[in-house]
Amino acid sequence: MKKLAALTVVFIFAMASLAFAGGWDKEKGMDKITLKGNLLCVGCSLKKLNGANAECSLFAHHAVGFKTEDGTIWNIIDNAKGHDIIRAHTLLEKNVPATVTGWIYPIAHAIEIDSIDVHGVSMADIQKTAWEEDQMIAKELMGRKLGQAPTPAGPSH
């Protein structure tokens, strides 16, 4: 009887692990989706919608996210394909239409970009703006003293 219970538990865990297969795999494949929506600053949007205490202007860190047509706001995973989108906030934080293909992680409200088409903005402009933003933030961080609170740097709204 104990062996049957142990085998049942092992079987259940084995089946559960199959349900999560591919989540961290480079060959994700089947769960890739395409969404249409707008790029926006997540913090500023939550501040305007719900009064969140977002302080996006600290070190000019307006993290760009993606709002789908149904109103869901997704955070973009910061990796090789998402970093420039996140950092190019001066181009992309004001509801710029985009089509994103990638993988969603609903439990974290996150989307991992495989490809993106930003309407009216070239990828070269996005990359240049993100690079400039990274340089400005690096300079600000290098000047910060231990224990010093962040100070606003860059545009705020």
Quote the pTM value. 0.69
Identify the sign of the CA torsion 60, 157, 148, 53.
negative
Looking at the structure, give the CATH architecture of the domain made up of residues 33-142: Beta Barrel (2.40)
How many other CB atoms sit within 10 Å of the CB of residue 65?
25
Q: How far apart are alpha carbons 16 and 131 in whole angstroms? A: 42
Q: 9 falls in which pLDDT band (50, 70, 90)? A: very low
Q: How far apart are alpha carbons 120 and 78 in whole angstroms? A: 23
- Burial of 111 (C-beta count, 10 Å sphere; 0-12/13-18/19+): buried
Q: Would you say residue 1 has pLDDT above 70?
A: no
**pLDDT digits 0-9 by tens, 41-98:** 887 777 777 776 666 666 556 778 899 999 998 999 999 999 999 888 888 878 899 9
